[in-house]
Amino acid sequence: MSFFNIIAIFITIAALASFINYRYIKLPSTIGLMVIGLLCSLVLIALNELGLDIESGAVGLLRSIDFSEALMNGMLSFLLFAGALKINLNDLANRKYIVSTLATFGVVATTFIVGIGLYYILPLLGLSMSFAWCLVFGALIAPTDPVAVLSILKSIKAPRSLEIKIAGESLFNDGVGVVVFIVMLGIASGGHATGVGDILILFAQEAIGGALFGIVIGWLGYLLLKRVDEFTVEIMLTLAMVCGGYAMASWLHLSGPIAIVVAGLLVGNYGRNFAMSETTRGHLDHFWELIDEILNAVLFIWMGLEVLIVEFSSTFLIIGLIAIPLVLIARFLSVSSAISVLKFKRSFTKHAITILTWGGLRGGISIALALSLPPGKSRDLIVSITYVVVVFSILVQGLSIKSMINRLISQPELPLDEQDD
């Protein structure tokens, strides 16, 4: 099947699903689309059991596309840039300590807590997996997903301070999470040097190098934007920044996600305010909002359909259900530890630990990393439990976070923001 036909199929399905959700289901867009995708998958499986073999065609289509490649080296750069454009740099700078701590220490701590927990849980169910591969699962499930988080934040009215923390952390920790994942996968597969020095060099190259590269392309983009006053040219320049910047970062072995987030922050704050007319700002915002909505729709319907090619068994499902509280406990411990240390420097919104724990959604990035693993028994188990955790995260946590915030915080805005980190 041609590339155009594949795109046409997914956009058509996403458009019809968006219509159904808007008219009848009325869930937040991304959650509704994933629910529809899951229901479609279950219907196809049921029809296959009844003797109507429609499932094999859908499975063939899904297997013909590399989800990991499409998300990590395609859609993600656009989604991250669109999200970063909306973040106020001053708000983020005021919360730099908690955001940077959660995006680094939080990811590493969650990796080890989940990995250790899984290593000791598996033998109780008659399974085993090496400690290194348990840490691989911990690494891929540790980062909160910016795509899922930002899409859910659109539909809730969280205190501004908490919104910046959740959004800022999710934008940066996926880049850090990918670096930790690469390190753990190298240890598990024996393909990389595993000394502390090698790990620190890799982290500096990917994360710090990616941030510096993002500053460079963001600043160059700003200089170019400042010299034109034509919205079509300026939008094309931002597209070039995303596509070319992400591709070059990958070629230089730097973190593309971190580079694009930094570039997006610079364009969203300096470019919009000092290098664009009011007309250009309006067109730019509408363009990237549309890109964000379309790619989100395709991504979440795709995630719902991916269940057709995930190898499930009753044991894998049980482990996945056990992994849900394990991941939440790890998230709680990493968040509470970070806040306990930083509260001596700054005060925090009441119930911040609870909301940050429950609002740390897992999504497509975790699935993409799991699907990128080399074939083997460990891969099948990791993919299955990753999918269970992600589905719970998006459907249960995503649907309940708004009511949780409304219940915990009765006066959400100024008084809390003024005292918050």
**Dihedral angle computed from the Cα positions of residues 198, 203, 206 and 207, in that order, rounded to the nearest 10 degrees:** -170
Residues 127, 119: Cα–Cα separation, whole Å:
10
pLDDT level of residue 39 (50, 70, 90 thresholds)? very high
Instruction: Give the integer Cα–Cα distance in Å for 300 and 254.
Output: 27
Contacts of 3 (CB under 8 A, 6+ apart): none
Share of the chain above pLDDT 90, in %: 52
Tell the residue number behind the tokens 């840490």, with chain if given: 135
Would you state the pLDDT for residue 197?
76
Cα 98 to Cα 360: distance, rounded to the nearest angstrom: 14
389 touches 319 (CB < 8 A) = no
Q: Give residue 33's pLDDT.
A: 93
Whole-number Å distance between alpha carbons of 223 and 84: 19
Residue whose tokens read 């269970």? 388
d(CA 308, CA 58): 8
Query: How far is Cα 101 from Cα 169, in angstroms, rounded to an integer?
Result: 9
User: Rounded mean pLDDT of 41-66?
Assistant: 84
- The model's pLDDT over 190-248, given as tens digits with 9 standing for 90+, comes to 755 556 777 788 888 888 999 999 999 999 999 999 999 999 999 999 999 999 999 99
C-alpha–C-alpha distance, residues 179 and 184, integer Å? 9
Work out the average pLDDT over 64-88.
90
- Supply the pLDDT for residue 147: 76
Can you tell me the distance from the alpha carbon of 38 to that of 54, in angstroms, rounded to the nearest whole number? 15
Most confident of 50-59, 88-97, 169-178, 332-341: 332-341
288/86 Cα distance (integer angstroms): 10
Assign 415 a pLDDT band (cuts: 50, 70, 90): very low
Q: What is the pLDDT of residue 419?
A: 46
Q: What is the pLDDT of residue 412?
A: 45
Average pLDDT, the chain: 88
pLDDT at 55 (0 to 100)? 77
The H-or-E segment that residue 19 falls in is: helix 3-20
Mean pLDDT value of segment 2-7 = 85
Q: What is the pLDDT of residue 414?
A: 37
Both tokens of 55, joined, read 């499932």
Separation in Å, CA 281 to CA 229, 268, 288: 11, 10, 11
Quick one: pLDDT at residue 417? 41
Q: What is the pLDDT of residue 195?
A: 67
Residues shown for the chain: 421
Note whether 373 and 66 are within 8 A (CB). no
pTM, entire model: 0.89
pLDDT at 341: 87
Residue 337 or residue 347, greater confidence = 337
Name the more confident of 147 and 270: 270
- Give the pLDDT band (50/70/90) at residue 74: confident
Q: Is the pLDDT of residue 421 over 70?
A: no
Structure confidence at residue 191 (pLDDT): 59
DSSP 374: P
Distance between CA atoms of residues 255 and 62, nearest Å? 27
> Position of tokens 């458009």?
15
Question: What residue type is assigned to position 362 of the chain?
Answer: R
- The tokens of 198 are what? 């090698």
If you average pLDDT over residues 123-150, what whole number do you get? 90
Q: Which two tokens stand for residue 67?
A: 């989800």
Residue 96: band (very low, low, confident or very high) from pLDDT cuts 50, 70, 90: confident
* Torsion sign (Cα): 53, 54, 57, 63: negative
Q: What is the pLDDT of residue 123?
A: 94
Task: Render pLDDT for 344-384 as a digit per residue (tens, 0 to 9).
Answer: 777 777 788 998 999 889 988 999 999 999 888 899 999 99
Burial tier of 108 (Cβ tally within 10 Å: 0-12, 13-18, 19+): middle
**C-alpha closest to that of 398 among 138, 87, 30:** 30
Q: What is the structure's pLDDT at 418? A: 39
- Identify whether the C-beta of residue 67 lies closer than 8 Å to the C-beta of residue 367: yes
Contact 363, 147 (CB under 8 A): yes
Q: Distance between CA atoms of 121 and 115, rounded to whole angstroms?
A: 10
Which conformational region is residue 51 in: left (phi greater than 0), alpha (psi within -120 to 50 degrees), or beta?
left
Q: Between 160-189 and 76-85, two packed helices, what is the crossing angle to 10 degrees?
A: 150
Of 114, 163, 109, nearest to 336 (Cα)? Answer: 109
Query: pLDDT tens-digit profile of 276-300?
Result: 999 999 999 999 999 999 999 999 9
The alpha carbon of residue 393 and the mean position of all alpha carbons in its chain are separated, in whole angstroms, by 12
Does position 150 have pLDDT exceeding 80, yes or no? no
How far apart are the C-alpha atoms of 68 and 79, rounded to whole Å? 15
What is the C-alpha to C-alpha distance for residues 261 and 269, in angstroms, rounded to an integer?
12
- Provide, for the chain, the percentages of residues in helix, strand and coil under a 3-state DSSP scheme, each rounded to the nearest 5: 80, 0, 20
